[in-house]
Amino acid sequence: MLEQTVLADGEECRFCLSKPGRRNMIWGKYGFAAWDRHPASPGHFLVVPYRHFSDYFDITDEEREELWQLVAAGKKMADAEYHPDGYNIGINVGLWAGQSIPHLHIHVIPRYKGDVENPKGGVRGVIPHNKLYEFKPD
C-alpha cells in the first residue's frame, strides 16, 4: 500500500516507509492510525494517508471521509487505554504552520486536567500572544 517517496533533501518520507517499531492501531483502505513515536501526551496518535501529499486541501473526498473515521476509531482506543479529559486535533499545512514532515498527517492529542495551568484557547496557542482570553472552568 505504501510506496516509498524520496524527498527533495534525498531522505525517504518517514510515513511512506513501514518502519520497525511503528505502533499501528488501525489500517484502512486509504490510510492508517498509529501511536505517535514522540507523543505530546499519553495516547497521542497520528492518522496518515497512504498516498504521499503534504497539503490537507489536496485530499480526495474518499480519503477525507476515511481519515476522519480513523480519528474517531482511534479516539475510542485512546479513551479505553488512557482515559483523557479532552483532545486537541490538529493538522499543520505548510512550513510556516509548523509542518515539518511533508506528508499529510492528523495529530490527535489527548489532554488531561491540570496538564497546563490554563487550557483556554486550545489550538489558538499556535500563536501564543493570541491564545489567552478569559477562562472560566466549571
Residues acting as catalytic residues: 105
Which secondary structure element, helix H or strand E, spans residue 111, and what is its range? Answer: strand 106-111
- Cα separation, 77 vs 55, in Å, equals 27
Residue 31 per-residue DSSP state = E
Look up cell 476515511; give the residue: 66
Strand order in the sheet with 31-35: 23-27, 31-35, 45-49, 106-111, 86-90
Q: Is the dihedral of CA 105, 22, 19, 60 positive or negative?
A: negative
Look up cell 496557542; give the residue: 125
Q: Phi and psi for 87 in degrees, rounded to 5? A: -145, 150
